[in-house]
Amino acid sequence: MTDVSAPTAKERILATAYELFSKRAVRDVGVDELIRGSDVAIATFYRHFPSKNDVVLAFLQMREEVWTLGSIEGEARRRGDTPEEKLLAIFDVFDEWFHREDFEACPFVNILLEMKPGHPLTMACVRHLERIREMVAGLAEEAGLRDPAKMARSWHILMKGSIVSAAEGDQDAAKLAQDMARCLIQSHRG
Amino acid sequence: MTDVSAPTAKERILATAYELFSKRAVRDVGVDELIRGSDVAIATFYRHFPSKNDVVLAFLQMREEVWTLGSIEGEARRRGDTPEEKLLAIFDVFDEWFHREDFEACPFVNILLEMKPGHPLTMACVRHLERIREMVAGLAEEAGLRDPAKMARSWHILMKGSIVSAAEGDQDAAKLAQDMARCLIQSHRG
DNA sequence: CCTAAATGAGAACGATCGTTCTTCCAGTCT
DNA sequence: AGACTGGAAGAACGATCGTTCTCATTTAGG
């Protein structure tokens, strides 16, 4: 049953968190802005989330479902016909993503680099980035490629590198990455 | 004439800035820590640098000279015999770098992603990252490769991607990147 | 309907941030 | 000697941070 009623306070908070943390650093988004944006009382905010960290963790979880599994894997699987083409379609999705004017880099990478090594958020990002590699490894295995795990690690380098390039302003970074990705597939076929 | 005397206040500040900003986010390092670390009076700090931003800018400049041009280009040029080997040696340097226990990612990327798009520090990082590509393009040209500028953009994707992977914990990311780099050289030879 | 939970509005907290200001001292150059 | 410069030490500022608190109001369940 779909929720037709007005969004609850928690839903509003999560929606605002997704919007803000998607394109700005954790340290740059204050709790007050989070609260004002979701039109919620301060006490309500802290009833649902014991601390700011917990909202960020919830956001990261959401990001994985919406972005990693939805926008990327889902879309890539939908576009490509063969498993190999599904893999390469990742960079087609990236290409469109990079050309959006509200392009917002990758929160997993942003937060990973923003926090210190031991921080809970850092470790969460490492886990979520691992899931991306698992997703790629799955596609690589379906394509019958050799050593899917290693292949996914290399593939992920191309993904993250192109994202940083796009953050610098190179909107065509996905195409460059895709060329190298083709080469990578080739070398994992023999 | 070499400076044999005790380091001046400004030198101490810059040394501390290099140490702190190399491995921690700008927002994570307070001015007080910068001041305490360099054993300097508050007024002295602000006499040499009008604001915290200016110290970060000075640090980025320093980082380019020490790291980009010194550790990376200098070392890569020293190691490789042929121009192509000099290029590939970049990832040998990276490999050793990734295995250091005090590995500290790339401040240019960190700060680029930490600050908002329009910020002076963001723009400075974009410029410094451009210099890295110029350095790679120079080596590519010396190697007689086709379209050195485009090649450098692709190469840089491998560099940045592997750095992020190393920040996640994959100490062998440089080797993966090097394999793809070989493939990239191959495709720019024909 | 009534009760309990959820929410709203906002004051206030201690901590930390980047920055300014004042005061005093040590050396250097003229 | 005297003027000037660079530095040390630290109080104090306004702003913002994440968080806790009180209190009134609304909403939902039995």
Q: What is the pLDDT of residues B104-156, one digit of tens each?
A: 999 999 999 999 999 999 999 999 999 999 999 999 999 999 999 999 999 99
pLDDT exceeds 70 at position A190: yes
* CA–CA distance, A88 with B155 (Å, rounded to integer): 19
Residue B54: partners with Cβ closer than 8 Å, 6 or more residues away: none
- What A6-12 contacts at long range (C-beta under 8 Å, 24+ apart), as own/partner pairs, is A9/A38, A9/A40, A9/A44, A9/A45, A9/A48, A10/A48, A12/A38, A12/A39, A12/A40
* CA–CA distance, A167 with B7 (Å, rounded to integer): 38
Exposure of B66 in the CB half-sphere (CA atoms within 13 A) = 13
- 8 A C-beta contact, residue B13 and residue B38: yes
Identify the residues numbered 9 to 48 in chain B whose C-beta atom is closer than 7 Å to any atom of strand D.
9-10, 39-44, 47-48
Contact B113 A126 (CB under 8 A): no
Closest CA to A175 of A158, A151, A156, A157: A158
pLDDT at position A106:
98
Question: What is the CA B98 to C1' D2 distance in angstroms?
Answer: 58
**Per-position DSSP letters for A74-113, written without gaps between them:** IHHHHH-SSHHHHHHHHHHHHHHHHHSTT----HHHHHHH
Least confident of A183-187, B9-13, B99-103: B9-13
* pLDDT > 70 in chain B, percent: 97
Question: What is the CA B45 to C1' D13 distance in angstroms?
Answer: 18
Instruction: Indicate yes or no: strand D within 7 A of the C-beta of A27.
Output: yes
- 8 A C-beta contact, residue A48 and residue A84: no
Portion 17-76 of B in contact with A at CB < 8 A: 24-25, 27-28
Q: What does the mean pLDDT of chain A come to?
A: 96
Closest CA to B133 of B157, B112, B115, B100: B157
pLDDT at position A107:
98
Identify the residues numbered 44 to 103 in chain B whose C-beta atom is closer than 7 Å to any atom of strand D.
44, 47-48
pLDDT at position B2:
46
| 3-state SS track over A150-187 | HHHHHHHHHHHHHHHHHHHCCCCHHHHHHHHHHHHHHH
pLDDT band at A4 (very low <50, low <70, confident <90, very high): low
pLDDT band at A8 (very low <50, low <70, confident <90, very high): confident
Provide the 10 A C-beta neighbour count for residue A181: 21
Portion 85-144 of A in contact with B at CB < 8 A: 105, 109-110, 112-116, 126, 129
Q: Which residue, chain included where needed, has tokens 């996914």? A: A152
Question: What is the CA A40 to C1' D21 distance in angstroms?
Answer: 17
**Per-position DSSP letters for A3-30, written without gaps between them:** --SPPPHHHHHHHHHHHHHHHS-GGGS-
Q: B27-46 in b/e burial notation, b at 16+ Cβ within 10 A?
A: eebeeeebbebbebeeebbe
* CA–CA distance, B78 with B159 (Å, rounded to integer): 19
The helix (run of H) or strand (run of E) holding residue B42 is: helix B42-48
Structure tokens at A104: 């917002």
* CA–CA distance, A115 with A63 (Å, rounded to integer): 18
Structure tokens at B172: 């062998």
* CA–CA distance, A20 with A59 (Å, rounded to integer): 10
Q: What is the pLDDT of residues A66-86, one digit of tens each?
A: 999 999 999 999 999 999 999
pLDDT band at A9 (very low <50, low <70, confident <90, very high): confident
What is the DSSP code (8-state) at residue B6?
P
- 8 A C-beta contact, residue A109 and residue B113: yes
pLDDT exceeds 60 at position B30: yes
* CA–CA distance, A106 with A112 (Å, rounded to integer): 10
* CA–CA distance, A174 with A176 (Å, rounded to integer): 5
* pLDDT > 90 in chain A, percent: 95
* CA–CA distance, B117 with A104 (Å, rounded to integer): 10
- Whether the model clears a pTM of 0.85, i.e. scores above it, the answer is yes
Average pLDDT of span B152-172: 99
pLDDT band at B92 (very low <50, low <70, confident <90, very high): very high
Structure tokens at B1: 């004439």
